[in-house]
C-alpha cells in the first residue's frame, strides 16, 4: 500500500515544482553570496562548521535538507528540522570586534538565512524563465514559512508574500557589511577546491554559474563585495540560457542522482506527481 503522505508541501504547491527545477543550484549559490554579507550570520557559519575543510560536503548536506523537507514525508521533514534545531542550540559565535558571544540560533540570524535563501531561489527562477505569476511568487513565500518553522522561527514573524519580503530586506540592509568571513565565502564561490580530474568541469560550468549567481545579486551587494557584476541584460540572457540548457537534461536522469528525493516522492505518491514547470503552469491556468 502506498504511503500517500504528501509531506509539508505536496504536488499542489509552488514549492514542489520550483524546487525540482535545476536552476535552483544557481539560486543556492546566490543565496550563499547574499547570506555571507550579514556579519553575525556568516561568523556563526565560519566559526562552527567544516566549511573550510569540507565545503562540498556542507553544500551537499544543505541541499539534502532542502530536498528532505520539500519531498519527504511529514515525519521525515519534522525529524530533519528537529536535528537542525538541536545542532543550532548548542552553537555560539564570537564577535571579534566586541568579544560578545551570541547563539547562532538568534531569530534575527535564522530569519536572514531563510529570507536570503527563498529570495534567491525565486529571483533566479524568474529570471531564468521559470513560469511564475505574481500570485505564485507570493504563494511560494507564504509556503516557505513552513520551512522557517522547522529551523526554529515563528511563522508569524516571517514574510508571507513578496511585498513583506522586500520590506524585510530594506529593514536589514544597514546591518550588511563586507567582512573577512564574507571575503572567504566570495573566494570559495569563485573557485572552490576540486580534485584534479574535476578542475576542467569546475572551470567551465561552476565559474559560469557562480558568475551568474553573483551578477544576479542586488546592486548594494555588489558594492559591498567590490566585484563588478555582468550588466543586467547579460545576466538575464545568461540565466535564460542556463535555464534552457539545464532543463534539456531529462528529468529522469537528474532525479536519479543521490539522494533521489524526487524519485522517492513520486514512488510514494504515484504517477503524475513529479515536479514540472509545465504542471505548475497548468495549475495556474486552471
Q: Report which of residues 231 and 259 the model is more confident about.
A: 231
Does residue 122 form part of some domain?
A: yes
Contact 41, 35 (CB under 8 A): yes
Q: Give whole-number Cα distances, 63 to 10, 108, 116, 172, in Å.
A: 18, 22, 15, 26
Does residue 226 form part of some domain?
A: yes
Does residue 136 form part of some domain?
A: yes
C-alpha cell at 5: 503522505
Does residue 262 form part of some domain?
A: yes
Does residue 9 form part of some domain?
A: no
Predicted pLDDT at 1? 38
Q: Is the pLDDT of residue 2 over 60?
A: no
- CA–CA separation, 117 vs 259, rounded Å? 21
Phi, psi dihedrals of residue 267, rounded to the nearest 5°: -65, -35
CA-closest candidate to residue 62, choices 80, 86, 75: 80
Does residue 111 form part of some domain?
A: yes
Task: Please tell me the total count of domains within the chain.
Answer: 1
Q: What is the pLDDT of residues 240-283, one digit of tens each?
A: 999 999 999 888 778 777 778 899 998 899 888 989 876 777 66
Q: What is the pLDDT of residues 189-225, one digit of tens each?
A: 998 888 888 888 888 899 999 999 999 999 999 999 9
Does residue 28 form part of some domain?
A: yes
Q: What is the pLDDT of residues 158-184, one digit of tens each?
A: 999 999 999 999 999 999 999 999 999
How many CA within 13 A on the CB side of residue 78? 5
Predicted pLDDT at 72? 96
- pTM to 2 decimals? 0.94
Structural domain harbouring 190: 14-279
User: What mean pLDDT do residues 112-137 have?
Assistant: 97
- CA–CA separation, 26 vs 234, rounded Å? 16
Does residue 6 form part of some domain?
A: no
Q: Give whole-number Cα distances, 208 to 92, 201, 213, 241, in Å.
A: 35, 11, 9, 11
- Counting other chains too, the contacts that 250-255 makes at CB distance below 8 Å and 24 or more residues apart are 251/20, 251/276, 254/22
Amino acid at each position: 500500500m502506498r504511503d500517500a503522505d504528501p509531506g509539508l508541501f505536496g504536488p499542489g504547491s509552488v514549492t514542489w515544482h520550483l524546487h525540482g527545477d535545476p536552476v535552483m543550484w544557481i539560486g543556492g549559490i546566490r543565496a550563499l553570496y547574499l547570506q555571507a554579507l550579514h556579519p553575525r550570520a556568516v561568523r556563526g557559519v565560519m566559526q562552527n562548521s567544516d566549511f573550510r575543510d569540507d565545503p562540498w560536503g556542507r553544500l551537499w548536506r544543505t541541499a539534502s535538507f532542502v530536498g528532505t523537507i520539500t519531498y519527504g514525508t511529514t515525519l521525515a521533514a519534522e525529524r530533519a528540522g528537529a536535528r537542525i534545531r538541536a545542532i543550532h542550540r548548542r552553537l555560539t559565535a564570537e564577535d571579534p570586534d566586541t568579544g560578545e558571544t551570541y547563539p547562532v540560533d538568534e531569530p534575527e540570524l535564522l530569519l536572514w538565512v531563510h529570507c536570503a535563501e527563498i529570495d534567491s531561489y525565486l529571483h533566479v527562477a524568474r529570471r531564468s524563465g521559470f513560469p511564475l505569476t505574481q500570485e505564485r511568487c507570493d504563494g511560494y513565500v507564504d509556503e516557505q514559512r513552513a520551512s522557517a518553522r522547522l529551523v526554529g522561527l515563528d511563522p508569524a514573524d516571517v514574510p508571507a508574500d513578496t511585498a513583506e519580503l522586500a520590506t524585510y530586506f530594506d529593514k536589514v540592509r544597514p546591518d550588511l557589511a563586507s567582512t573577512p568571513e564574507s571575503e572567504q565565502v566570495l573566494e570559495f564561490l569563485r573557485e572552490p577546491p576540486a580534485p584534479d580530474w574535476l578542475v576542467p568541469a569546475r572551470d567551465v560550468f561552476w565559474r559560469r554559474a557562480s558568475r551568474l549567481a553573483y551578477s544576479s545579486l542586488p546592486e548594494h551587494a555588489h558594492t559591498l563585495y567590490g566585484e563588478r557584476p555582468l550588466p543586467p541584460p547579460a545576466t538575464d540572457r545568461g540565466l535564460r540560457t542556463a535555464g534552457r540548457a539545464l532543463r534539456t537534461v531529462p528529468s529522469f536522469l537528474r532525479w536519479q542522482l543521490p539522494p533521489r528525493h524526487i524519485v522517492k516522492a513520486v514512488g510514494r505518491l504515484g504517477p503524475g506527481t513529479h515536479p514540472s514547470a509545465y504542471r505548475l503552469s497548468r495549475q495556474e491556468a486552471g
